[in-house]
């Protein structure tokens, strides 16, 4: 649906249709629900934080080096996805695609490291079924990781669509929403980094 | 899961065999009728794939009524079992456990919630002068997640075995040790699939109401039902993700041996209780606030007055929605949280009575000096006020933590929540359905049969549940499947059972009324069928489903009760100088197929059949990708078509009046 009231030059592409505007607002509502979802997971994690039931404690397996690299990878990817939106606003499709590509590579790198981390922990005896602590750890991080994987798949689909159809109000709208999602996952990771890793390794 | 094939189909109980046979016959009957009358294509094109909010609303209501029949039969079986001491009717405790579990779950998740969502779908976009909801595709998807989630839950009683841990599914009672077999898995996955759609509905209606109101409709001019829809949708967004996570964790505990809720390996059963009620208490308001909205609409219409204290009503709803998240511990005062915690939740619970009281007095003040017409929706609304108040007052009694140690887990509680949920939600579902029936089907339900149904149901309801307060005070615990003559509970239980059957008969009259009215009631052509008393915008457009664009010209709102104002000012909202093209979304089969895959995936998980679960997951992803790539921009209803449609309606009206 084309907007009747403000189709001005100033309006960014992703806001130019009524549907596009609804999609973005609806996605903010969805992110509200996602905040509740992750809050519940964090709440569970903090309730169970000392309940390792005489199995392996997190301090024995957490490796801060890897987690720091993961953190920098994901934070950088959030930055590059922001640059992609910046280029989109300027109408530089090629540069926008490149930045999305870099975001994807960083996202996949993060996922690879997370899978490596999980396998490593499992080999040291910390799995989903080891204790309540580890159940909540893997559910919280696994949910975040699954979201990242979904985000990667989503960005790939959008890349294909921009290649096929160019930068239209519809594809711009999708890219903008996907980048909102990507920033959100980044914010969640900051809470994971402090609440899960820093809390156990540095503070307690 | 090691499940033998002979355990796959539930055997042994005569009632379940009867159920299996009736399901089989009904399915064959439906297939035969659709094939014989060549209706498959019609069903697919006009209904299954429809993105029209009114049709989706109707589908919600039909499916909820079917679920109401199932859960109602469960209720009557329970009441029969408890009618006399040491009744052999249901055979054993296990069967009774399964029936009260499915009764509770279905009534809350698959009747109350979707029934109200159905009414929201029918009325809310019309009330705000919108063409459709913000996300029509998502709306269709929401309906089918509810439908297929409900189907997954319902087949449990003939395949694999029904859940038996109560609708609140407390751990460790719902764990593999104490609830072996797939029954509880059906509960978890059925609710999970439905919950996705409910969350989507919440988002959809928030965006619809905040973004798509007609020109001039400020927030404080919105009809009360629209307000309750908005606030309810916000509660859904805040509460349903908690359920999603809790269900996922219990699913993990049962399927992959995690330790969230079992003491073994460090888990905490109390965490399930907290998370369940952290969702479950707001859920109570998800199913009561829209009911308040419906009664507000009906009372203003048939008292022929503006709603008294509109602003205080809005603030009351907002206050209730906030408080709804702060009271969850009152569901388990006796679990040893300590006096400080219990006091806090006791006081916050009692605080809810304040805004609710404001609303009750507002309704009474609206009635005061109104020109009351005792139509069928109105008698339901009038019946609601005293009955709901009884439920509310006993709720305050339960909110006293110290006293709750006496009532806890007795029939006093059972009676309390039936008084609020039936007199609130179910009365509203009937009232709203009858009130908006002309908007949905283009005719009014027969009033004589409607009044019969009302009185039978009202009396039956009180005969059934009022004695239960006394049974509770007399110490009868809930969830027991039989009792001894010397317990002294026979008389009141027997009366209660009689009441339950009266409600059953009332429901049969309702179903008969639908058939009777379809055959014999005159068709409604004006669009404002309640004696011209309509106040809000849904009555400004023509009746029944066909004009799929809702309004040929989007009305302009000049105040509260927009349509009433237009009538006062002598404005005809349907008078159109120039017809315009209208953009509408296309129908789509994608959500239906996606939800079938959700069903398949859920079914695979229930039985730990991983290949089937994976097939379901892949199917869901393919549907999502298909949707992402589709370039469906909807279609244009041309000005010419709109003109023809509208002139046809005008002619029909002239014919009727002339």
Residue A17 is classified by DSSP as B
What confidence tier does B269 reach under pLDDT thresholds 50, 70, 90?
very high
Nearest CA in chain A to B236: A33
Please name the residues between 295 and 324 in chain B that touch chain A, using a CB distance below 8 Å.
Answer: none
Whether the CB-CB separation of B122 and B439 falls below 8 Å is answered with: yes
A7/B contact by beta carbon, under 8 A: no
Nearest CA in chain B to A168: B631
End-to-end CA distance of chain B: 70
- Say how many CB pairs under 8 Å bridge A and B: 109
A146/B contact by beta carbon, under 8 A: no
CB contact under 8 Å between B237 and A36, yes or no, is yes
CB contact under 8 Å between B257 and A48, yes or no, is no
Q: Spell out which residues of chain B touch residue A170, defining contact as CB-CB under 8 Å.
A: 631
Q: How far is B208 from chain A (nearest CA, A)?
A: 8
Nearest CA in chain A to B248: A139
Q: How far apart are CA B249 and CA B209, in angstroms?
A: 34
Give mean pLDDT, residues B208-229: 94
Q: How far is B629 from chain A (nearest CA, A)?
A: 7
Percentage above 90 pLDDT, chain B = 73
B636: β partners: B583
B204/A contact by beta carbon, under 8 A: yes
Give mean pLDDT, residues B171-183: 90
What pLDDT score was predicted for residue A1? Answer: 43
- B493 vs B531, more confident: B493
Q: How far apart are CA A180 and CA A185, in angstroms?
A: 9
Instruction: State how far the alpha carbon of B237 is from the alpha carbons of A27, B240, B241, in Å.
Output: 12, 6, 7
pLDDT at B7 over 70: no
Nearest CA in chain B to A44: B271
CB contact under 8 Å between B244 and A37, yes or no, is yes
Give mean pLDDT, residues B366-385: 95
B267/A contact by beta carbon, under 8 A: yes
Tokens of B256: 């992959």
What confidence tier does B233 reach under pLDDT thresholds 50, 70, 90?
very high
Give mean pLDDT, residues B34-38: 86
What pLDDT score was predicted for residue B525? Answer: 79
**Number of helices followed by number of strands (H, E) in chain A:** 6, 0
Peptide bond into B290 cis (omega under 30): no
Q: Spell out which residues of chain A touch residue B270, defining contact as CB-CB under 8 Å.
A: none
A142/B contact by beta carbon, under 8 A: no
What are the sequence ranges of the domains in chain B?
Answer: 1-37, 38-522
What confidence tier does B325 reach under pLDDT thresholds 50, 70, 90?
very high
Closest Cα partner for B258 from B342, B171, B198? B171
Q: How far apart are CA B25 and CA B31, in angstroms?
A: 10
- Whether pTM > 0.90 for this model: the answer is yes
CB contact under 8 Å between B258 and A129, yes or no, is yes
CB contact under 8 Å between A47 and B237, yes or no, is no
Q: How far apart are CA A179 and CA A78, in angstroms?
A: 8
A25/B contact by beta carbon, under 8 A: yes
Q: How far apart are CA B189 and CA B197, in angstroms?
A: 13
Nearest CA in chain A to B636: A1
Give mean pLDDT, residues B483-501: 95
Which of B202, B241, B251 to mutate to probe the A interface, most A CBs <10 Å? B241
Q: How far is B625 from chain A (nearest CA, A)?
A: 8
CB contact under 8 Å between B207 and A139, yes or no, is no
CB contact under 8 Å between A132 and B259, yes or no, is yes
Q: What is the pLDDT of residues B145-166, one digit of tens each?
A: 999 999 999 998 888 889 999 9
What pLDDT score was predicted for residue A204? Answer: 57
Residue labelled with tokens 């992750």: A38
What pLDDT score was predicted for residue B21? Answer: 82
Q: Spell out which residues of chain B touch residue A28, defining contact as CB-CB under 8 Å.
A: none
Secondary structure (H, E, C), B180-238: CCCHHHHHHHHHHHHHHHHHHHHHHHHHHHHHCCCCCCCHHHCCHHHHHHHHHHHHHHH
Q: Spell out which residues of chain A touch residue B554, defining contact as CB-CB under 8 Å.
A: none
Q: How far apart are CA B221 and CA B129, in angstroms?
A: 12
The beta-carbon neighbor of A26 closest among B134, B245, B259 is B134
Percentage above 70 pLDDT, chain B = 97
Q: How far is A200 from chain B (nearest CA, A)?
A: 18
- B108 vs B25, more confident: B108
Please name the residues between 225 and 254 in chain B that touch chain A, using a CB distance below 8 Å.
Answer: 237-242, 244-246, 248-249, 252
Please name the residues between 211 and 230 in chain B that touch chain A, using a CB distance below 8 Å.
Answer: 211
Please name the residues between 164 and 193 in chain A that touch chain B, using a CB distance below 8 Å.
Answer: 165, 170, 174
Q: How far apart are CA B421 and CA B254, in angstroms?
A: 31
Please name the residues between 127 and 146 in chain B that touch chain A, using a CB distance below 8 Å.
Answer: 134-135
How many other CB atoms sit within 10 Å of the CB of residue A171?
21
The values of phi and psi at residue B635, to 5°, are -135, 165
Nearest CA in chain B to A143: B245
* DSSP track, A141-194: HHHHHHHHHHHHHHHHHHHHHHHHH-S-HHHHHHHHHHHHHHHHHHHHHHHHII
How many other CB atoms sit within 10 Å of the CB of residue A10?
6
Q: How far is B249 from chain A (nearest CA, A)?
A: 8
Nearest CA in chain A to B244: A37
Mean pLDDT of chain B: 91
B69/A contact by beta carbon, under 8 A: no
In this predicted structure, which of A4-8, A191-195, B492-496, B634-638 has the lowest mean pLDDT? A4-8
CB contact under 8 Å between B211 and A21, yes or no, is yes
SS3 B592: helix
In this predicted structure, which of A11-25, B118-132, B411-425 has the lowest mean pLDDT? A11-25
Q: Spell out which residues of chain A touch residue B260, defining contact as CB-CB under 8 Å.
A: 44, 48, 132, 135-136, 139
Q: How far is B624 from chain A (nearest CA, A)?
A: 10
Rg (CA), chain A: 19
CB contact under 8 Å between B252 and A128, yes or no, is yes
A92/B contact by beta carbon, under 8 A: no
In this predicted structure, which of B83-97, B351-365, B473-487 has the lowest mean pLDDT? B83-97
CB contact under 8 Å between A22 and B242, yes or no, is no
The helix (H) or strand (E) run that includes residue B584 is strand B582-584
Q: Write out chain A's pLDDT in tens, 204 residues.
A: 444 444 555 788 888 888 889 999 999 999 999 999 999 999 999 999 989 888 888 888 888 899 999 999 999 999 999 999 999 999 899 999 999 999 999 999 999 999 999 999 999 989 999 999 999 999 999 999 999 999 999 999 999 999 999 898 899 999 999 999 999 999 999 999 999 998 887 765
Whether the CB-CB separation of B627 and A23 falls below 8 Å is answered with: no
Rg (CA), chain B: 25
What pLDDT score was predicted for residue B545? Answer: 59
What pLDDT score was predicted for residue B502? Answer: 96
Q: How far apart are CA B205 and CA B534, in angstroms?
A: 23
CATH class of B38-522: mainly alpha
What pLDDT score was predicted for residue B32? Answer: 87
What pLDDT score was predicted for residue A2? Answer: 44
């Amino acid at each position: 649906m084309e907007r009747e009231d403000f189709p001005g030059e100033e309006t960014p592409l992703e806001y130019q249709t009524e549907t596009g505007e609804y999609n973005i607002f609806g996605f903010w509502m969805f992110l509200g629900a996602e905040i509740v979802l992750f809050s519940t997971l964090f709440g569970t994690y903090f309730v169970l934080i000392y309940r390792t039931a005489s199995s392996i404690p997190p301090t024995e397996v957490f490796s801060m080096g890897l987690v720091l690299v993961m953190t920098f990878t994901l934070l950088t990817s959030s930055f590059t996805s922001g640059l992609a939106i910046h280029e989109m606003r300027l109408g530089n499709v090629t540069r926008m695609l490149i930045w999305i590509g870099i975001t994807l590579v960083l996202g996949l790198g993060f996922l690879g490291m997370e899978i490596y981390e999980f396998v490593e922990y499992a080999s040291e005896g910390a799995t989903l079924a080891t204790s309540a602590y580890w159940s909540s750890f893997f559910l919280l991080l696994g949910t975040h990781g699954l979201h990242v994987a979904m985000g990667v798949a989503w960005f790939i689909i959008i890349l294909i669509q921009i290649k096929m159809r160019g930068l239209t109000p519809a594809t711009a709208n999708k890219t903008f929403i996907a980048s909102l999602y990507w920033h959100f996952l980044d914010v969640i990771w900051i809470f994971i980094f402090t609440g899960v890793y820093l809390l156990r390794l540095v503070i307690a | 899961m090691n499940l033998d094939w002979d355990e796959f189909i539930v055997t042994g109980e005569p009632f379940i065999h009867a159920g299996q046979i009736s399901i089989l016959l009904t399915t064959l009957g439906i297939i035969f009728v659709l094939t014989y009358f060549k209706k498959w294509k019609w069903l697919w094109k006009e209904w299954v794939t429809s993105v029209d909010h009114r049709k989706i609303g109707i589908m919600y209501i039909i499916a909820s009524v079917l679920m109401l029949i199932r859960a109602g039969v469960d209720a009557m079986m329970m009441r029969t079992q408890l009618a006399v001491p040491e009744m052999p009717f249901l055979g054993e405790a296990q069967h009774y456990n399964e029936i009260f579990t499915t009764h509770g779950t279905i009534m809350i998740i698959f009747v109350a919630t979707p029934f109200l969502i159905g009414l929201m779908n029918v009325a809310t976009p019309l009330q705000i002068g919108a063409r459709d909801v913000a996300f029509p595709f998502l709306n269709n998807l929401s309906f089918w997640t509810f439908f297929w989630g409900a189907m997954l839950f319902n087949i449990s009683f003939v395949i694999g075995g029904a859940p038996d841990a109560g609708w609140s599914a407390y751990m460790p009672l719902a764990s593999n040790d104490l609830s072996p077999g797939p029954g509880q898995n059906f509960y978890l996955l059925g609710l999970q699939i439905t919950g996705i759609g409910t969350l989507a509905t919440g988002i959809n209606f928030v965006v619809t109401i905040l973004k798509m109101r007609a020109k001039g409709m400020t927030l404080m001019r919105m009809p009360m039902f629209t307000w309750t829809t908005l606030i309810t949708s916000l509660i859904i967004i805040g509460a349903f993700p908690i359920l999603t996570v809790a269900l996922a964790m219990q699913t993990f505990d049962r399927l992959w041996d995690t330790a969230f809720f079992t003491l073994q390996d460090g888990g905490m059963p109390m965490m399930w209780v907290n998370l369940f009620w952290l969702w479950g208490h707001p859920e109570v308001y998800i199913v009561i606030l829209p009911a308040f909205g419906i009664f507000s609409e009906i009372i203003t219409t048939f008292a022929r007055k503006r709603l008294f204290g509109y602003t205080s009503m809005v603030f009351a709803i907002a206050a209730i929605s906030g408080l709804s998240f702060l009271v969850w511990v009152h569901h388990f005062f006796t679990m040893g949280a300590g006096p400080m915690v219990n006091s806090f939740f006791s006081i916050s619970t009692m605080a809810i009575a304040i805004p609710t009281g404001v609303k009750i007095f507002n309704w009474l003040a609206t009635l005061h000096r109104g020109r009351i017409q005792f139509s069928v929706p109105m008698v339901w609304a009038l019946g609601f006020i005293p009955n709901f108040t009884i439920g509310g007052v006993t709720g305050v009694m339960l909110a006293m933590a110290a006293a709750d140690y006496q009532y806890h887990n007795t029939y006093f509680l059972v009676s309390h929540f039936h008084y609020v949920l039936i007199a609130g939600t179910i009365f509203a579902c009937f009232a709203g359905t009858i009130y908006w029936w002309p908007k949905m089907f283009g005719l009014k339900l027969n009033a004589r049969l409607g009044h019969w149904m009302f009185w039978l149901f009202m009396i039956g309801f009180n005969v059934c549940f009022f004695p239960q307060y006394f049974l509770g005070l007399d110490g009868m615990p809930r969830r027991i499947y039989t009792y001894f003559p010397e317990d002294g509970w026979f008389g009141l239980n027997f009366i209660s059972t009689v009441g339950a059957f009266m409600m059953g008969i009332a429901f049969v009259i309702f179903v008969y009324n639908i058939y009777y009215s379809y055959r014999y009631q005159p068709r409604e052509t004006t669009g404002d069928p309640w004696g011209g008393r309509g106040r809000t915008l849904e009555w400004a457009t023509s009746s029944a489903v066909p004009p799929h664009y809702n309004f040929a010209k989007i009305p302009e709102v000049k105040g509260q009760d927009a349509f009433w104002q237009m009538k006062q000012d002598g404005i005809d909202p349907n008078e159109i100088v120039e017809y315009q093209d209208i953009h509408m979304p296309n129908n789509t089969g994608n959500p239906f197929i996606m939800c079938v895959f959700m069903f398949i995936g859920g079914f695979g998980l229930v039985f730990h059949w991983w290949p089937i679960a994976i097939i379901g997951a892949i199917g869901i992803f393919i549907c999502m990708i298909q949707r992402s790539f589709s370039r469906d921009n909807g279609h244009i209803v041309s000005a010419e078509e709109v003109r023809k449609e509208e002139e046809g309606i005008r002619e029909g009206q002239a014919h009727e009046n002339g």
